[in-house]
Structure 1
């Protein structure tokens, strides 16, 4: 996401909130408004980031509160003054919340959070983001591992190995049938079994599978 050019801090007090003052102290373009004013106004201009004080009902098992959902229609949102024990961080990430600033956060960490989010980045702990990325990658890694899983020596039959060799030499089904003295229908049945055993969807993927060094039971390419 591009950098944000304006920060809107939601606060009900007439005096400037400490978060507003902190943003001003580092030169961030910030303005303070009440929640009613923000919600009643038209959608914020592009490049606006909204800072919303956290309430216990804002994040629960059902998702975001109606107010937070409505604010997100106006502009991207992050929450501040959150209680660590009450916030479901993963739920916040999945719901599109840009970051969380906790009530007990040190001043330098709050400054880092503001600068990070105004630069268009999410603000969550490295551990949380690392765990989330690992979860997202697990299905892909598992699928990749399954695709390249080596076969036992006895999984492919001798006939299937002969057919694989002929496929590698560019032979078509009829040519394979003639070479092995079997019907084209039988060749097709053998190829279906080979594709299933090697997790290949077509001949190209089968050739790629054969090139994997771990597949010791695949016949070597013969040079002509």
Structure 2
């Protein structure tokens, strides 16, 4: 499915001049000039405009009561280097509506922290146009856009936290009441939550990797999850429910 097959997204672009995205640790990248950051902003907006999005730009966020008028927020980070700490007001925005960061500098942003904090995606100032377009299309399709290593590291952190803080035996995954899941799907979600990859699941269940993929896609659909991290997070909320 390409972006033209879907309805247009109303998106708000918060520019670098906005005070809303600064904090006490922010500083300006000395390598950027007013001309270069304007060109970078126009470049990104131009690419987003080809992805079936209606864009509104501004140097300040809309009033709190009006923020739901937009389905997506893009925040320009050219002049807002947060020394790897995402400001609280950005985290609050991400909790309310889908939020994406762009023109980021890899040395000034922890993308894993952004992912685990609810940010939907990160684009870097040196990303090639085709990479940006691919990511924008994924965002348009209601997916997240992060580097694969970032996704894997975040998943590893979640699994490590689960191992270090095991749940009581009477609330483990095997005893959870999963709505509308088949017995095989319950088994697979247990294996996914333990960190097993598709090949390992296939070998353990004596099925093909394609069959595993089919079951996992079904799990994504039934749980409204977009990736393994969201699927594991979804499973957590049902652990304490009665049968």
TM-score if structure 2 supplies the norm length? Answer: 0.47
Local SS of the residue matching 1:138 = helix
Give, in angstroms, the shift of residue 143 of structure 1: 8.2
Secondary structure of 2:65's match?
A: coil
Higher alpha-carbon deviation: 96-105 or 38-47: 38-47
From the CA coordinates, give the structure whose radius of gyration is larger: 1
Q: Judging changes above 3 Å, is the alpha-carbon distance between structure 1 residues 41 and 17 closer, same or farther for their aligned structure 2 residues?
A: farther
Whether the 8 Å CA contact 1:49–1:118 is kept in 2: the answer is: no
Report the equivalent of 1:114: 136
Task: Check conservation: 1:9, 1:19, Cα contact below 8 A.
Answer: no
- 1:87 Cα deviation after fit: 1.0
What is the deviation of 1:122?
1.3
Aligned equivalent of 1:99:
121
Partners in 1 of 2:63 and 2:110 — Cα distance? 28
Distance 1:84 1:110 in 2: 15
What SS does structure 1 have at the residue aligned with 2:62? helix
Bigger RCO of structures 1 and 2 (CA < 8 A, at least 6 apart): 2
Q: How does 1:172-183 map to 2 (within 5 A)?
A: none
Q: TM-score if structure 1 supplies the norm length?
A: 0.51
The reply to whether residue 22 of structure 1 matches residue 26 of structure 2 is no
Q: Secondary structure at the match of 1:114?
A: helix
Task: Name the Cα RMSD after superposition.
Answer: 3.2
Question: 1:76 maps to which residue?
Answer: 98
Q: Which runs of 5+ in 2 are unaligned?
A: 1-6, 18-37, 170-243
Structure 1 residue ranges without an equivalent (≥5): 148-224
> After the TM superposition, which residues 1-224 of structure 1 pair with which residues of structure 2 at under 5 Å, given as runs?
5-11=9-15, 17-26=42-51, 28-36=52-60, 38-40=61-63, 42-45=65-68, 48-54=71-77, 57=80, 59-60=82-83, 63-69=85-91, 71-72=93-94, 75-140=97-162
Residue 95 of structure 1: how far off its partner (Å): 2.0
Deviation track 1:56-115 (CA, whole Å, cap 9, x = no partner) reads 656446x42244245436622111111111111122122221111000000000001111
